[in-house]
Structures are given as C-alpha cells and as structure tokens.
Amino acid sequence: MSYQTVNPATGETLQGFDEIAATDLDIAIRQADACLRTWRNFGFAQRSEIVAKAASLMESQVDELARLATLEMGKLYAQAQGEVLLSASILAYYAKNAERFLVNETIEVADGTARVESSPLGILFGVQPWNFPYYQLARFAAPNLMAGNVVMVKHSGSVPQCALAFEDLWRQAGAPSGLYTNLFLSYEQVNAMIDDSRIKGVALTGSSGAGKSVAARAGQNLKKSTMELGGSDPFIVLGDADVDKTLKWAMVAKMNNNGQSCVAGKRFIVDASLADSFLEHFTDAMSRLEPGDPMDGATTLGPLSSEAALIALEEQVNTAVEAGATVITGGKRLDRQGSFFAPTILTDITPDNPAYGQEFFGPVALFFLAEDDDDAIRLANDSEFGLGCSIFTEDAQRGERLASRIESGMVFINHPTWTAADLPFGGIKTSGYGRELSAAGIHEFVNKKLVRVRSIDAPA
C-alpha cells in the first residue's frame, strides 16, 4: 500500500489504505461536478456558513487532530496543535473576507459602464505534501471554496489519517457531497486527473522536481496552475544585529517542524564581525536539543517524517563532507529507535560543492560568512531557489533597503519567514509561481470576466 501510517518515532506501521479504484474515481469526479453546479450559485453567506463551521470544528478538535499529525509525521505535539489552530484561522479568515476580496471592480470608461467580476473556474485538483498536513489543505481549500470552486485533493501517502480527518471536517460542517474530496491516488491516476477535462485548475505544493512534472502536465492541458515548491531560505545576520535575540529566532527558523519546512532557515549568512560569536552560540543551542517522544512536552527534537527522509538527508550530508564541507556538530543519525537525525551545522561550503545549491529538508544548517552587506546579498541571491528570506539588524530601514535587493517571494525583517492567513505566500525561480493566502490567494483560480455595457448606437 502506498498510503500508510508509519510512526517515525518508533518505525511501527499502524495502518494502511488502498488506492481508489478507477470506477470509484470517476464517480467521485462526477459527484464533484454535480456539486459545482449548485455550489457556484450559492451566495457568499451560504458558503461562509459551511467554511466557518469547519473552522470552528477544527478549533474544538485541536487535540485529536494534532495527535494524528504527530503520530503520522513526527511533528512535536505543541507545534501540531499550533498548526491546527493556524489552519482553523485560515478557514475563518476566508469565510469572513472572501466577499470583500471578490467584489466587482468598476472600470471608468468614456461612455456606458464596465466592470470586472470574478467567477469560479470549476473543479480544482490539489497535490499536497506531508510536512504541514492540515495547513496545506486549509490554504488550498478555504479561498477556493469561498470563491465558488470545488476541490479534490491528493494528499501525501504518509499522512492518510490526517487527510481523512480533514475531509471529515467538511462532512461535519454540513458541506454538500463533492464539495471537498480526498483521493488516495497512484501517480498514474494523478496524471489522469490533470488530463481530465472536468478539472479546471491544478495546485501543487512539493519539490521542484514534482513541480516541473505537474506544471508541464497542466500546461499540456492548458490549465491554470500554481506551484509552491522548495526553498533554501537565507537567514541573514548583519553586523549590527543583537546576537542573543537573533539566535533565539535562528533556532525557530531552523528547527520549526524539525527543519522540514520549505521556508525554514537553511543558509545562515552572518557578517564576519559576528560570525565567530554567532556560530559558537548557534552550535551550543543546536547541540542541546533533546530527542524523544514528540508527544512529550519535554522533547525538543522530533524524528524526521520517515526513514526514507532520514536516509536521503544523511546521503546529502555525506556528499557535502566528501566535497569539502566541515561538520561543526551532528552530521549523522542518532543511535536510538526511530528516524532521528542529529542537529547539524556545516561550514566551508564552496560553490562547487553539491550542497551549495541544494535544499536540506531537516535539522541541517549551512553556515556562510559575509564580508559586508553586498556580500550577504550576493550569497543570498546565488541560488536557484527564491521562496523566503529573513534579515536581522538593529536598523530596520537598513534591512528594508536590502530586502528590495533580495530575489525571493517573501522577506521578513527581524523575524523568520513565517505564514499567516492575511500574508501572501509564494516564491519565484525554482521555488514556483502563484500566491496563496491573503487577498492574493483567492484570485488565483477565478475567471476575471469583463462585462462592458455601451449604447447600441455607440460608434465602433
């Protein structure tokens, strides 16, 4: 079975699920299509009632939903609770604001009237990853359902219980059948979904490799797509930064979700004047993380999401070291049950080292020394990725000036790259295209229709 719950803290396989049969998949699409015909004609108040109810249900079930995430992918339980509440806030945000975001735009014309109105595209297909098993679903579903679309989702094979739990929230909220559909699909069925004429848009969050494949397939079918892909976010520490305060955020940036986040701090670029002090304290903080049961509040280092993820990360580190990188701390799996990898810092990474251009998805930080601000910007931009970036400085205006020179979709000053319902999220370069969340997110999969009225006697 390709959909399995395997507890990464113990390696125990707990439950498996079969992929959907071809006949059942067609029934599901037909059900979604039938739902669309009524849902798209619902008013915002009717849609909002259901989406807001789903948000309320998430809040009331936070502990059980968080437990499933911790069980399936190893997220620290307190962080899993935070993810559930964030997801609920996204649903509530769009339930409240969607009508305002999609109000008709009036265009001033010389005669008559003109407006642009937003109408739903239809059935949307989302391919979502395991690392934030509810948040990824919420930020895809909430804006698009409120816009009048219906959604069908292929979630990651490692979080099937989270996928089913989120789908069940919509049933509990009173959603009509076909509004939100979870699908356990094979890779061949993913391609068939993208090819299906009833599917009108495709969204993927995943690796750059997966993005190239899915975007190409969508393009061949002339379908709108959004791609939120990998990242190798720079965490820039300028010479005037407060080291103690910055270090606390460095640990959050690196270790949130055990480093398994597309916007985790991955490349730590530190001004030469602070490099020795920062590296010393950063190494100490990383070394003191305590591995253990992710359900235990005393645990500060959880497992990677799977044994395969650990093996891949260990191979990356070994290759980097063979190419000349220096291990300051960590560098290998921990000698204990489960898929635990030691918090790791690598230095001496030259441009010819494979690690220089890679994304490390886990508790591995790459450390670079910058001679000055210009050098920091050069290092930050010397990447195929362009998702997020953070800059730490005592002079916020200095940080903002440098932010304008950063090649990425998001830059945060004195805070790690983060997410909230009202902030647009997305990247450039091989980190993808399109935006999710905020007002921007609801406009991705709607038809911007011009309606022009003129006098019948108006000249051509």
SS3 state of residue 433: strand
The pLDDT tens digits for 319-331 are 999 999 999 999 9
**pLDDT beyond 90 at 2:** no
Q: What is the mean pLDDT of the chain?
A: 98
Catalytic residue among 72, 228, 314, 436: 228
The pLDDT tens digits for 407-438 are 999 999 999 999 999 999 999 999 999 999 99
**pLDDT beyond 90 at 161:** yes
The span from the first CA to the last CA of the chain, in angstroms, equals 64
The pLDDT tens digits for 60-93 are 999 999 999 999 999 999 999 999 999 999 999 9
Q: Can 228 be counted among the known catalytic residues?
A: yes
DSSP letter assigned to residue 155: -
What pLDDT, on the 0 to 100 scale, is given for residue 460? Answer: 82
Q: Can 262 be counted among the known catalytic residues?
A: yes
**pLDDT beyond 80 at 217:** yes
Homologous superfamily, domain 3-229+431-451:
Aldehyde Dehydrogenase; Chain A, domain 1 (3.40.605.10)
Which residue matches tokens 């909002």?
Answer: 48
Give the Å distances, CA to CA, from 24 to 32, 75, 185, 198: 12, 33, 11, 16
Q: Taking residues 192-204, report their average pLDDT.
A: 98
Q: Which residues contact 126 (CB under 8 A, 6 or more apart)?
A: 137, 140, 141, 151, 152, 153, 154, 202, 203, 204
Rounded to whole angstroms, the Cα distance separating 92 from 126 reads 20
Residue 144: pLDDT band with limits 50, 70, 90: very high
Task: Record the pTM.
Answer: 0.97
Residues of the chain within CATH 3.40.309.10 domain(s) are: 233-413
Give the Å distances, CA to CA, from 76 to 155, 159, 259, 260, 310: 20, 15, 12, 12, 17
Catalytic residue among 262, 314, 359, 389: 262
Q: Taking residues 297-301, report their average pLDDT.
A: 98
Residues across the chain: 460
Rounded to whole angstroms, the Cα distance separating 248 from 36 reads 47
Domain 233-413, CATH among 3.40.1210.10, 3.40.50.150, 3.40.309.10, 3.30.499.10: 3.40.309.10
Residues of the chain within CATH 3.40.605.10 domain(s) are: 3-229+431-451
What pLDDT, on the 0 to 100 scale, is given for residue 1? Answer: 63
Residue 397: pLDDT band with limits 50, 70, 90: very high
The pLDDT tens digits for 93-105 are 999 999 999 999 9
What pLDDT, on the 0 to 100 scale, is given for residue 10? Answer: 97
Which residue matches tokens 């020394």?
Answer: 369
The pLDDT tens digits for 335-355 are 999 999 999 999 999 999 999
Asked if 55 and 91 touch (Cβ cutoff 8 Å), the reply is: yes
